[in-house]
Chain A
């Protein structure tokens, strides 16, 4: 079983909808990353969290360390948000090694 699990694997939404992508992990972590992979293949870091909540534009990321769970929310979704969203964790004493979830394919229809 993967140490980092994401749900759902695939998500289709209508433009304007509020979207939530979940990430659960089974190991102790020092930080959690959310990444976005565009349809063209490029990967962009969205957030790095070790506690609480962060917001950037229409994107919000939260983490609950006790429950080993993080969520990525997208408000007022737009077709340009269509991408694969990947959760990754850094375990303590692992240097900067990222352990990845399998990703969530999001499609936002106009």
Chain B
């Protein structure tokens, strides 16, 4: 019974394609996040949703669009993929938007060729 799950774990695609990564949490949390870890292993927040409402939107290209159909799900859709989008994307969740213990998903390794 995984707390935060992501699909797929690996994603290899060509430049210009559109792809989605899905995230689900069964912890009953109301806040979910997307983080990007680059090739140097540096983590950076991309988006955060609280109760399906966008509360953090860092400087991320418009090609990235998060969607939260309900509190338990936060998906990330990426249009017109570029080589620089290659990274590991982590989903996480917490209870409350005010900075609490965060639980991370296993990550999705995206490779754009």
Contact = CB atoms under 8 A, between A and B. Distances in A.
Contacts of B33: 96
Interface stretch (A41-49, A52-60, A65-73): A41-49
Contact of A45 (B40, B90, B102): B102
Interface of A is mostly: strand
Interface in A17-58: 30-31, 33, 35, 37, 41-45, 48
A37 B42 CA distance: 12
Interface residues of B, number: 29
Given A44-B104, A45-B102, A96 B97 contact: yes
A48 B101 contact: yes
Interface stretch (B18-26, B43-51, B60-68, B74-82): B43-51
B107 A98 contact: no
Interface of B is mostly: strand
A48 B42 CA distance: 20
A95 B55 contact: yes
Most chain B beta-carbon neighbours within 10 Å: one of A90, A96, A102: A96
A43 B94 CA distance: 14
Interface residues of A, number: 23
B90 A43 contact: yes
Interface of B: 31, 33, 35, 40-45, 48, 50, 55-56, 88, 90, 92, 94, 96-104, 106-107, 109
30 contacts: A37-B41, A41-B88, A41-B109, A42-B107, A43-B104, A43-B107, A45-B102, A45-B103, A45-B104, A88-B43, A90-B99, A94-B99, A95-B50, A95-B55, A95-B56, A95-B97, A95-B98, A95-B99, A96-B48, A96-B56, A96-B94, A96-B100, A97-B48, A98-B43, A98-B45, A100-B43, A102-B40, A102-B41, A102-B42, A103-B41
